[in-house]
Amino acid sequence: MSWTIFDTWIAVTGMLCAISCAIPGSFLVLRKMSMMGDAISHAVLPGLAIAFFATGARDSFPMFIGAAVVGILTALFTQWISRFGQVDRGAAMGIVFTTLFAIGLILIVRAADHVDLDPGCVLYGAIELTPLDMVSFGPFELPRAAAVNGATLLVNLAIVILLFKELRLSSFDPALADTLGFSSGFIHYLLMTMVAVTTVAAFESVGSIIVIAMLIVPAATALLITRRLIPMLFIAAAVGAASSWIGHFMAIRIPPLFGVSDTTSSGMMAFAAGLLFTLAWIFAPHEGLVAQFLRARGKENRIPESTTQSPLR
């Protein structure tokens, strides 16, 4: 199968989606809240379903509102349940997002009878179909999904540029943020809203499950490579973008080698992200396995000198 303009659009859509996920994803990873991304990406489902019911169409704007509302509710409910129910955060999250996800699934299966909506698409996305749904901006024509993900990326970029100092402060030391007058609660819910909105923008292309890979894996990979926040954001974006191109390329090239037709691109994109993570894990300059091995061997060579001076001898 040869690479066509369709393939370029698919990879571009995946890339825009991955980069816009990498921004809130990096802060989730730094706050040790990766599972919150998982929870929110699942929990927005009922918000989407209700938006479908209300408008009867796959219109993006009501979906964003619905998702943002449910995303914030997820974060709120989790907080409440862990505080008043006296269960730990992880358990509270598990209760909230599975319940909301279930409600969403029930609603979507019901909605599927009335509106053009396939539960499979919601879960796994349909990035292969994105070039079939084009919109035009003046002389330019691009897939609607690319436009939606691109717009989300711009919003996320604007937020991280304007509030970089505040996001970093409240991620590193929320108590200090509060005493300095920067409400860590506000920034927490802002980040949760970003995650919810980004997830919705992404879900049409990559689905609500694969999107977790885009939120977390590039950020975790970047954290293996650098110990500075700004480079981390850039590397996470680059890893996300690369896994999108590599993923789609592998999806159309590898299965034919085994005599079968091409496979799902979004799945391959997540797989490619995992592959890049593995590479970083092995070859990262300081934290990588190779670097650690070399360091350990360096130490071994030095042992004879130090043991001669050991009081145990």
Partner 1 sequence: MPLISAHAKPVASAHLPEHPKDSPLSIHDLTVAYHRKPVIWDIDLNIPEGSLVGIVGPNGAGKSTLLKACLELIPKTSGLINVYGQPYQKQRHLVGYVPQRESVDWDFPISALDVVAMGTYRRLGWFKKVGKKERAKARKAMEQVGIGEYADRQISQLSGGQQQRVFLARALVQDAQLYFMDEPFAAVDAATEQAIVELLKDLRSQGKTCIVVHHDLATVSKYFDWLILLNMRVVAAGPTKEVFTRENLHKTYGGKLDLLDSASLALAQS
Residues that bind partner 1 (CB under 8 A): 30, 32, 86, 162-166, 168-169, 171-173, 175-176, 178-182, 223, 226-229, 232
Within 10 angstroms of residue 158's Cβ, the number of other Cβ atoms is 10
* Least distance in angstroms from the C-beta of 179 to partner 1: 5
The beta-strand segments (E) located in the chain are: 134-137, 140-143
Between 5 and 175, name the residue whose CB sits nearer to partner 1.
175
* Least distance in angstroms from the C-beta of 311 to partner 1: 22
* Least distance in angstroms from the C-beta of 281 to partner 1: 16
* Least distance in angstroms from the C-beta of 175 to partner 1: 5
Nearest to 156 by CA among 194, 190, 186: 194
Between 31 and 58, name the residue whose CB sits nearer to partner 1.
31
* Least distance in angstroms from the C-beta of 231 to partner 1: 8
Q: Check: CB of residue 180 under 8 Å from CB of residue 48.
A: no
Between 102 and 162, name the residue whose CB sits nearer to partner 1.
162
Q: Check: CB of residue 262 under 8 Å from CB of residue 251.
A: yes
Give the CA radius of gyration of the chain.
22
Q: Check: CB of residue 239 under 8 Å from CB of residue 19.
A: no
157-160 contact pairs (CB < 8 A, 24+): 157/23, 159/23, 159/190, 159/194, 160/23, 160/233
* Least distance in angstroms from the C-beta of 166 to partner 1: 7
Between 119 and 174, name the residue whose CB sits nearer to partner 1.
174
* Least distance in angstroms from the C-beta of 284 to partner 1: 13
Tell me the C-alpha distance between 73 and 193, whole Å.
Answer: 10
Q: How buried is 30 (Cβ within 10 angstroms: 0-12 exposed, 13-18 middle, 19+ buried)?
A: middle
Tell me the C-alpha distance between 122 and 60, whole Å.
Answer: 14
* Least distance in angstroms from the C-beta of 265 to partner 1: 31
Between 227 and 302, name the residue whose CB sits nearer to partner 1.
227
Tell me the C-alpha distance between 141 and 156, whole Å.
Answer: 23
The contacts of residue 191 (CB under 8 Å, 6+ apart) are 24, 27, 28, 31, 167
Between 275 and 291, name the residue whose CB sits nearer to partner 1.
291
Nearest to 240 by CA among 175, 172, 153, 180: 153
Between 128 and 166, name the residue whose CB sits nearer to partner 1.
166
* Least distance in angstroms from the C-beta of 180 to partner 1: 5
Between 82 and 266, name the residue whose CB sits nearer to partner 1.
82
The beta-strand segments (E) located in 123-169 are: 134-137, 140-143
Between 6 and 164, name the residue whose CB sits nearer to partner 1.
164
Nearest to 21 by CA among 207, 219, 193: 219
